[in-house]
Structure 1
Amino acid sequence: MSIRVRRFRTGLSAAVTAAALGTLLSPAQAANAGPDAPGGHPGHGNRLQQGLERLVAQDDGPPGAIAVLTKRGRAEVYSAGVGDTGTGRPPSPDDHMRIASISKAYSGAVALRLVDEKLLSLDDTIGDRLPDQPADWHAVTLRQLLQHTSGLPDFSADPEFLNILQSDPHHLFDPRDLLDFVADQPLRFRPGSLYEYSNSDNIAVALMAEAATGRRYEDLLKDLVYRPLGLRQTSLPLGYRLPRPYLHGYDITPPAHAEDVSEAISASGVWASGGIVATPKELGVFIRAYGGPALLSEQTRKEQLTFRPGDSSEPAGPGTNAAGLAIFQYTTRCGVLYGHTGNFPGYTQLAATTPDGTRSLTFSINTQTSKSNKPALLARLRTVEEDFACALLKDR
């Protein structure tokens, strides 16, 4: 997600521009932890913990961070700092949080499950399924939308959209009308010829899923993703409120104090491209299924995992990135993971899994960073993420 909040100390953080959890058990306590219990690993726990603490200690760093390593049903939870500066409460794996553009993987899951059910095809076009959209867009395929090679202009960078958010951050958009902000604009390039990350892509994906089934996207999420995976703390709210308890998100602009922006912006303006709320625990369940073999047929998964080298998620994940269909390949110094990242005011997220779906990493910090917003913090974050990726991949 590429929405950013800037600070106005005289009131709510409202100027919006386009740019883009339980208590921690120490490594020693982990020896007594059962399956799915928080804990560390005697071999690498201290080093990983120190990496998190150094990240939080940076002047422009997040107030808190939480990473959950899951290996064949056993969870190791690492946290540093606080999930709420008002109470000092640490981050918890059961805290709700905005997962930002990882939401795109959920719209990918819906679309690809419909492909498996023969209700959609990756070669279906906007013209086939959404004929009321601009004629210039009609040749764009579902495959191109999922891989960000569509050329659709990004509604979240449109001046009118941004002006509405500037004047009313809690504005309730009709998410099915978000593409109207750029309906007068031509494609940015010939579909399939280039890669350009666009929030419009997954709005169109959700609309195509609705058109193919005659059902609301929210209901498709429940039936095709939440229920099969047992996700009870995952939702797609349209308003600005978060379910309790939640990981508070902050705008950090030194030397000013951290400003809570958790509920500063309505999620209706991001919807299928960035509006999902989940807990670290449930995010791990999802990414193991979506990045592993559990959710899709072998043939559809083969299409999902056809990667374009060098095309990165936003923000970039650890190691070298390559883009698949609503999923990315992260080639780290220790091996390969599949996953997705996201950033939103107050949050930066990573969810990744081993290709066999048996291990996962979720990594959350409660401030926003991207290539255009605190790039130095992003570089430090990616280094720590790769250390955690290596801990996940070693001793397999």
Structure 2
Amino acid sequence: MSLLVAVALTGALTACDAAEAEESGRDSAVSTSATSSGAAVSSDAAASPRARLAELAQQVVDAGAPGTIVRVDDGSGKPVEITRQAPWTKADHALTASDKFRMGSNTKTMVATVVLQLVADNKLKLSDPVDAWLPGMIPGGSEITVRMLLNHTSGLFNYLFDPDVFQAFIGQDTKVWTPEEQVAAGVRHEAMFAPGTDYAYSNTNYAALGLIAEKATGQPLEDLVQRQIAGPLQLKNTYLVTGAGNAADKSTNPALAPGYEPDAARLVGLLPPGVPAGTAFSGPAKPEGHVETTWINPSTTGAAGGAVSTAREWATVTGALMSGKLLPPALMKEMRTTRAEEAEFPNRRYGLGLEEVATPCGTVWGHNGEVPGYSSENYTDAAGRRTVSVYTTTIFGIASPKPRAAQQALMNAAVCAMLGKPVPATPAPAPTGS
């Protein structure tokens, strides 16, 4: 599930048949013959999974995405890495597969891993009530356990849906939100259900988990991520942005891929129910009705979605996790014990910061994420030997049916290639005026 969930898009990966797609760019090693005019899939693409993925990535850009990164490692050799971007974005940055990317709710897998490592070290228990660590912070905290926070069965309201937080999330407010304030914003709304009786995705759960990890260790969460995951895996570009980390992030990390969202005029008709009319992302104006959101206020995400990484490094994280390098078997089993998500996502089940997803080519494990200007999906096979990542430099730029279908087709094809299955053959769509 994504950081936004009902407020924006959820991941495109689906167990349904691969849907339509479209096109516009070039890969470091592949050139294709399909064009934005809707030409049929080339014979080269039919013969080569790499070329087919390149065409599908191109079609996502032609459908309206500013850019996309695809990385597929089927465990048999050099990974396939493909980038595509709209021509107007090239003046800002030439997109590469090694660019840093805001990972959104993929962060939850990393934070859950840190928490479970603390369980392995006997510093806390899955059965611990929240009140044992955050006394008085959460109403009913004596009935909510660490496990319930991890698997979204606490019933806590999602703080990102609080109007004040949401204004900061879209960049209309520069207030720096602390984790304590995130939790407070969540609990000032009525709980959705009694603890442990249902499932509802809520970022408040992970804001609380970050605070619990800090209380159990006496260390900032970003330092725990470095010490327990990034350091041991020798990751140079993976870190957690929290609080006011925006300024340092901008000055020290120019390799962050730029993110974009449609401007206020183009957002009309793309906003889901519940988002106020007139909502607009703050940022410098860009061509073709976009604003840049790269450096938008990041303080609303933190433990729920503040990670930055690259496709290669995140594949290292998820591969190490699923292959048993980061957690002992008993806790890996706990992490992979899943329950059904909301009814609208019948192909997804949620464990402890980890999703089990049924796809056309088999079951995969991982997460997805969204923050302004960034949508990402990362999955592995059950053994962590094969990995796939598909990143898009927008959320709402792929919200309408045509780009959404193109994104879905690309994601399904990338997962099939990862699993060594034939890439689904999808006819190129007919051209449209949009």
Instruction: Tell me which interval the TM-score lies in, with the shorter structure as reference length.
Output: 0.7 to 0.9
Q: Which residue is 2:208 aligned to? A: 204
Q: Which residue is 1:150 aligned to? A: 154
Could you tell me which of 407, 411, 414 is aligned with 1:385? Answer: 411
CA contact (8 A) 2:367 2:379 kept: yes
Within 5 A, what are the aligned runs for 1:40-79?
A: 43-58=48-63, 61-72=64-75, 74-79=78-83
Q: What percentage of aligned pairs have identical amino acids?
A: 26
Q: Deviations over 1:13-40 (max 9, x none)?
A: xxxx9557x9622289xxxxxxxxxxx9
- Aligned to 2:110, the other structure's residue is in SS state helix
Could you tell me which of 102, 109, 118 is aligned with 2:113? Answer: 109
For residues 167 and 347 of structure 1, the distance between their equivalents in structure 2, rounded to whole angstroms, comes to: 14
For residues 296 and 215 of structure 1, the distance between their equivalents in structure 2, rounded to whole angstroms, comes to: 20
CA contact (8 A) 1:64 1:90 kept: no
Q: Which residue is 1:252 aligned to? A: 262
Q: Deviations over 1:113-153 (max 9, x none)?
A: 11111112111121111113133233111111111111111
Q: Is 2:250 aligned against 1:213?
A: no
One-letter amino acid matched to 1:389: V
Q: Deviations over 1:182-231 (max 9, x none)?
A: 33334210112111111111111111111111221111111111111111
Shift of residue 378, structure 1, vs aligned partner: 3.4
Could you tell me which of 349, 365, 374 is aligned with 2:392? Answer: 365
Q: Which residue is 1:329 aligned to? A: 356
Aligned length: 365
Q: Which residue is 2:185 aligned to? A: 181
- Cα pair distance change 1:2/1:222, threshold 3 Å: closer
CA contact (8 A) 1:292 1:354 kept: no
One-letter amino acid matched to 1:78: I
Shift of residue 379, structure 1, vs aligned partner: 4.2
Q: Which residue is 2:197 aligned to? A: 193
Shift of residue 111, structure 1, vs aligned partner: 0.6
Q: Which residue is 1:290 aligned to? A: 321
Within 5 A, what are the aligned runs for 1:227-238?
A: 227-237=231-241, 238=245
For residues 27 and 109 of structure 2, the distance between their equivalents in structure 1, rounded to whole angstroms, comes to: 28
Q: Which residue is 1:36 aligned to? A: none
Gap regions ≥5 residues in structure 2: 10-25, 33-44, 267-286, 423-434
Q: Which residue is 2:296 aligned to? A: 265
Q: Which residue is 1:32 aligned to? A: none
Shift of residue 258, structure 1, vs aligned partner: 4.3
- Aligned to 1:229, the other structure's residue is in SS state coil
Segment drifting more, 165-174 vs 290-299: 165-174
- Cα pair distance change 1:117/1:274, threshold 3 Å: same
Q: Deviations over 1:213-272 (max 9, x none)?
A: 122111111111111111110122221654211211111368672424333422111101
- Cα pair distance change 1:300/1:311, threshold 3 Å: farther
For residues 392 and 123 of structure 1, the distance between their equivalents in structure 2, rounded to whole angstroms, comes to: 36
Q: Which runs of 4+ in 1 moved over 4 A?
A: 1-4, 17-20, 163-168, 253-256, 310-313
- Aligned to 2:227, the other structure's residue is in SS state helix
CA contact (8 A) 1:95 1:244 kept: no
For residues 297 and 351 of structure 1, the distance between their equivalents in structure 2, rounded to whole angstroms, comes to: 22
Q: Which residue is 1:355 aligned to? A: 382
Gap regions ≥5 residues in structure 1: 5-16, 29-39
For residues 277 and 343 of structure 1, the distance between their equivalents in structure 2, rounded to whole angstroms, comes to: 12
CA contact (8 A) 1:369 1:375 kept: no
What do you get for the CA RMSD once the two structures are aligned?
3.1
- Aligned to 2:230, the other structure's residue is in SS state helix
CA contact (8 A) 1:82 1:88 kept: no
Segment drifting more, 67-76 vs 159-168: 159-168
Q: Which residue is 1:239 aligned to? A: 246
For residues 334 and 145 of structure 1, the distance between their equivalents in structure 2, rounded to whole angstroms, comes to: 31
One-letter amino acid matched to 1:385: M
CA contact (8 A) 2:3 2:305 kept: no
For residues 163 and 91 of structure 1, the distance between their equivalents in structure 2, rounded to whole angstroms, comes to: 29
Q: Is 2:122 aligned against 1:98?
A: no
- Cα pair distance change 1:395/1:144, threshold 3 Å: same
CA contact (8 A) 2:156 2:187 kept: no
For residues 23 and 214 of structure 1, the distance between their equivalents in structure 2, rounded to whole angstroms, comes to: 46
Q: Is 2:307 aligned against 1:276?
A: yes
Q: Which residue is 1:10 aligned to? A: none
- Cα pair distance change 1:168/1:48, threshold 3 Å: closer
CA contact (8 A) 1:64 1:83 kept: no
CA contact (8 A) 2:261 2:396 kept: no
